[in-house]
Structure 1
Amino acid sequence: MSRSERFSRHAPAPVPPGARWWRDAFVLARWTRRLTMLALLFFAAAAWSYWGEQWLPPIRTVVIEGELEHSDSDRLRYAALRAVEGKTFFDVDLGALRRALEDLPWVRRADVRRVWPDSLVVSLAEYRPIAIWIDVASGELSLLDANGHVFSAVPPSDDLPRIIGPAGQEETLLEAYEGLSRVLQPLGRLEVLQVGPTLSYVVRLSQGTEFVLGRLDSLQQAEQRLSWLAQRWDAIRERLGYAPVRVDFRHQQALAVAGPASIIAPPPPPESKGKKKR
């Protein structure tokens, strides 16, 4: 068998003229159905965008969830209703509502979701303040949370410790406050940590005792100095006969110690024993 004869066996059979016409008509009908479906979907979407939202009711209910301790419920409700006023289920801007709520004091995070057909559910998380932050340059007062984030709100209590320092050092100084609090725990509660622009440290306890550490290169150096003092505090009190109210570390190989005003104040002058002149 020749090579040409072998290939001729696998060649396609000729298509009758009527069969070709039928196949072309079938393909044309199939594509016609597809295009018709696409056209119907397009017109349905256009009709919905024009008339559909008019059939939906506006947002009627906004549910606010979360453990809220400091947030003003009236301000939350007003901000939420203002952001959804006149909006329906589909055209309400969830991002705008979330930003409006997160701009309020105490609101750390707001998550918003839709509930068919006319409701929204808002889950709020508040900041938890652990200290008052004061900018050493401007004197501006803010609050700090446990992550070192600064937020603006009215302090809920005067018992919060105060951290005073340069802007941008909030997280670092919060870590310093926590470390120095552990070191000074035997002496009392750390009430004020102040760090100046030149990184000079001043620490004050709740009972008024103040420790001036001066300029330090690291937090570890501050902890070492105060740890040394805490271990010898009782011996210092016993030797002086009183509890110091101010200890200054800025002197080489020496401490400057100040006592209470009643201790260091000079005694009043003695009264004259002579008779008063008339």
Structure 2
Amino acid sequence: MSNLPVLDKPRKVSQFYVGIAFFIAVLVLLIFAWVKISAWLEDEQQAPVKEIIISGERHFIQDQQIESLIKRTQPWQLFELDVEKTHQTVEAMPWVYRASVRKRWPAGLEIYVVEQQPVAIWNGDMLLNQYGDSFNAQVEEDGSAENIRLPRLFGPGGSEQTALQGYRNMQSLLDVTELHIVEMFLSERFAWHLQLNNGVKLNLGRTEFIDRLQRFVDILPLISQQKKQIDYVDLRYDTGLAVGWKASNKAA
């Protein structure tokens, strides 16, 4: 019985060294895995953006414009690319109304674009979208101005939405005729002046301009029977109107 402890001692020493060896082996494997993962992450961080996917209905924006802008303003590595800054950069483009940007693994970027919808030319050098917001872009650059035939609206700064709503209301009255507004002037005192596609100019004044335009529509068949060409119609009267006729080109 006195020899049993002597026999157990070598076994305990052997188990101790086996445990140490196993611990060292696990530690070596963990260090090896950490080195490999670090190297992989470093490689991934340097991986370039290989694909940009752009979606959304677009008429004035070219995909190459968006790609070129991102390349100029952002690092071309997917991990280093800042999604929020990219979003702000894309949304600052004149023809972009709204945009969303997200990374697409392993090496792609997805961009969804909502394009501005121009409905009028504002003060000769700006455009209005469907919400009455002005933006600085030139429709003529794409050769589309004649195709979309935007009306030209003029007014004081800050009156964009008022002018656009007034234009829409008045054009809806003219839709029953073959006339449409090609130019509309809103003065500093908010008096309305129109020029129609037939060349006729209308002075509607500041108040009751919708009722006055309706009066013009009602009496248009009567004054159109005249053999003279209308130059302007002044509707700034409680009742009635004044018509100016173009001078005859015939020699007296």
Tell me the TM-score range normalised by the shorter chain: 0.7 to 0.9
Contact 1:58 1:86 (8 Å CA) reproduced: yes
- Structural mapping, 1:55-204, within 5 Å: 55-56=43-44, 57-89=47-79, 91-134=80-123, 141-155=125-139, 156-158=144-146, 159-185=149-175, 186=177, 188-204=179-195
Partners of 1:199 and 1:62 in 2: how far apart? 48
C-alpha separation in 1, matches of 2:239 and 2:50: 73
Which consecutive residues of structure 2, in runs of 5 or more, have no partner in the other structure?
A: 1-34
Please give the TM-score of this superposition, normalised by the length of structure 2.
Answer: 0.74
2: CA distance between counterparts of 1:77 and 1:98? Answer: 13
- Amino acid in the other structure paired with 2:68: Y
Q: 2:76 and 2:57 mapped to 1: Cα distance?
A: 29
Q: Which structure's CA Rg is the greater one?
A: 1
Identical aligned residues as a percent: 26
Q: How many residues are treated as equivalent by the alignment?
A: 211
Deviations along 1:20-59, one digit per CA (max 9) or x if unpaired, are xxxxxxxxxxxxxxxxxxxxxxxxxxx99x8774131232
- 1:203 deviates by 0.8
Partner of 2:223: 236
2:42 corresponds to which residue? 54
Whole-Å Cα distance in 2 between the matches of residues 235 and 98 of structure 1? 57
Distance 1:211 1:127 in 2: 31
> 1: distance between equivalents of 2:240 and 2:250?
25
2:231, 2:174 → 1: CA distance? 14
Change (3 A) 1:198 1:164: same
Cα distance in 2 between the residues matched to 1:180 and 1:248? 16
Q: Distance between the aligned counterparts of 2:174 and 2:43, measured in 1?
A: 67
For residues 137 and 153 of structure 2, what CA distance do their matches in structure 1 show?
16
Separation in 2, partners of 1:226, 1:126: 34
Specify which of 237, 248, 259 is matched with residue 234 of structure 2: 248
Give the TM-score normalised by structure 1.
0.68
CA RMSD between the two structures: 2.7
Once the 2 structures are TM-superposed, how far is the Cα of residue 88 of structure 1 from its aligned partner? 3.0
Aligned residue type for 1:249: L
Shift of 1:179: 0.5
Structure 1 alignment gaps of length 5 or more: 1-46, 135-139, 269-278
